[in-house]
Amino acid sequence: MKTISIAEFEILVARNDWQREQGLEVVEHLNRRILEWDEENESPDLIDIPHVFGWASKTSTLDGIKITYTEGFNYDECEPDSLSTGTEGQDDVWYVEGVAVVDEDGDELNVHELSDYLDSDFSSIDYGVLKIEQITDIDVDKDSDMETFTLEIDNAPSIRFAGELIASAASSDNQAMGGGYISQNDRWTELSLYKTKGGKFICHRIGRTRWYGERDRFSGKVCETLIEVKEFFGHRWLAKELYAEASIDDAVEVE
């Protein structure tokens, strides 16, 4: 193993001919449980959110010297905004192999001291390859005159389709239309029903909130029949408003 000075190390790490390679490994899938308000049922609801944990590494090699950076990552499935990365709790973050670096007194610097001389080229990780955000295409047609929608779904792929909105209903008179209006009801539900170019129904429910520490909730389903639509939305008053706007018969025939 060669020995070099700090000045030589600075020149070495500044070279632009390092070979870079990164690695991403998912090591565990767990459900994390959170308590959220269910506006439709007007009660708190325990939600299981699929969560992913893993390790990432960035290895740089040049002239028999290898420098490796490692960090942990975690995220909620299909939720790119939930991605969190870092080195907290790690005993070892950097590894330097193939070279020893000494100061003016001939004392060898440890890997923590050497890391102060390394820029982000040695530690930046491209998490785009994880493809956390996923989209399911339903009747997508780029040449169609119909509008293309992309609907967010919690912990599942978003739904993208060409079609039209045929009905909507909300439990608030001021349903997030903008303008900064805040009503006394700071939680409400929005229901939307779409029909795709191919004739499928797309059901979408949003549980909106303005409460601190809470987040909007999104659910949806691709349906082949109106029976499936009514199974998704149910038969409470808000769903009945939606059915009325869509001219869907929600009556039960009794002999």
The answer to pTM > 0.85 is no
Look up residue 248 and give its two tokens: 């869907």
Where does residue 67 rank: exposed (0-12), middle (13-18), buried (19+ CB within 10 A)? buried
Q: How many other CB atoms are found less than 10 A from the CB of residue 137? A: 14
Per-residue pLDDT reduced to its tens digit, 130-173? 888 788 999 887 777 899 999 999 888 999 999 999 999 998 75
pLDDT-above-70 percentage for the chain? 90
Per-residue pLDDT reduced to its tens digit, 193-236? 999 999 999 999 998 888 887 888 899 999 999 999 999 999 99
Give the phi and the psi of residue 161 in degrees, each rounded to 5. -160, 160
